[in-house]
Amino acid sequence: MNKATRKAIIAGNWKMNKTRPEAKALLTELAPMVADVKSVEIVACVPFTNLETALAATEGTNIKIGAENCHFEKSGAFTGEISADMLAEMGVEYVVLGHSERRQYFAETDETVNKRTKAALEAGLKPIVCVGELLWERECNITEEVIARQIKLDFFGISADDLKKCVIAYEPVWAIGTGKTATADQAEEVCAFIRDTLAKLYGADVAETITIQYGGSMNAANAAELVSKKNVDGGLIGGASLKAADFTTIIKAAEVG
Ligand code: PGA
């Protein structure tokens, strides 16, 4: 990553894991292990039911808390949904949006990701917007088309000032939870392409300041190489964020990288 212009962000995406006592135990174990980390922003994105526990467990630490989604309407008849305002009021700082599992299993589209991103920004949250191609799309050589389309649609109508509050996570769908990591060169290639796309839309100066993470089977063994790449500014970590020791190793790799 380019440390002169950007801060690394390592975010855990817990997905549908951990009860409240388990969440408390994991964060209580993690906090002292990463207490000395200054150059990396550390985030744990946890299930809605764990947010209050996670906020309490990390109070006074350098660990920030995020949610894993939010709805785009402010309030109303949307049974089962959670609004951005509800999260912001709790003290939640980040929210993952457009994760491929949401797109794949819950029919989220670029249009709703765009609306969610706008709602999150309006509430003062920092969106972590996920983009990434399917294996089939990579094999058909349309990775760049897919990514450019997602970036253009997901950030449509969002100002440069608001974009600067966003994080982008490049997560090739074929690498998520599969143990198949993109090589560091593959990750760098697409993260650089995302930055070029942002430069065309917002100008190079803005694009240079945006944190672009890699996500997809990132772990304690491969993190250092991934974050050593110029355009890879951290990671969105699923499985490996559920173990304090592994997550710490990844965070410390980003400190060096
Ligand atoms: P993984 O998940 O690290 O378990 O592959 C990453 C993600 O889905 O954000």
C-beta 215 within 6 A of ligand 1? yes
Q: Please give the pLDDT value at position 196.
A: 98
Catalytic residue among 68, 133, 171, 188: 171
Q: How far is it between the farthest Cα atoms of the chain?
A: 48
Distance of CA 128 to the CA centre of its chain: 4
178 alpha carbon – ligand 1 mean position (Å): 9
The mean pLDDT value of the chain amounts to: 96
User: CA 212 → CA 53, 63, 134, 169, distances in Å?
Assistant: 28, 19, 19, 6
CB distance 171 to ligand 1 below 6 Å: yes
Asked whether residue 136 carries a pLDDT value surpassing 80, the answer given is: yes
Quick check: CB of 233 below 6 Å from ligand 1? no
CA-nearest residue, atom 6 of ligand 1: 238
pLDDT, tens only, 30-63: 999 999 999 999 999 999 999 999 999 999 999 9
- Exposed (0-12), middle (13-18) or buried (19+): which is 21, by Cβ within 10 Å? exposed
Is 71 a residue of the active site?
no
The pLDDT of residue 130 = 98
Q: Is the pLDDT of residue 112 over 80?
A: yes
On whether the 8-256 domain is CATH 1.20.1530.20, my answer is: no
Indicate which residue's Cα is closest to atom 2 of ligand 1. 238
Bridge partners for 95 per DSSP: 67, 127
Q: Assign 257 a pLDDT band (cuts: 50, 70, 90).
A: low
pLDDT of residue 90: 98
pLDDT tens profile 188-198: 999 999 999 99
pLDDT in tens, 140-186: 999 999 999 999 999 999 999 999 999 999 999 999 888 888 899 99
Going by alpha carbons, the residue nearest to atom 1 of ligand 1 is: 238
Interval 227-252 mean pLDDT: 97
The one catalytic residue in 41, 68, 71, 99 is: 99
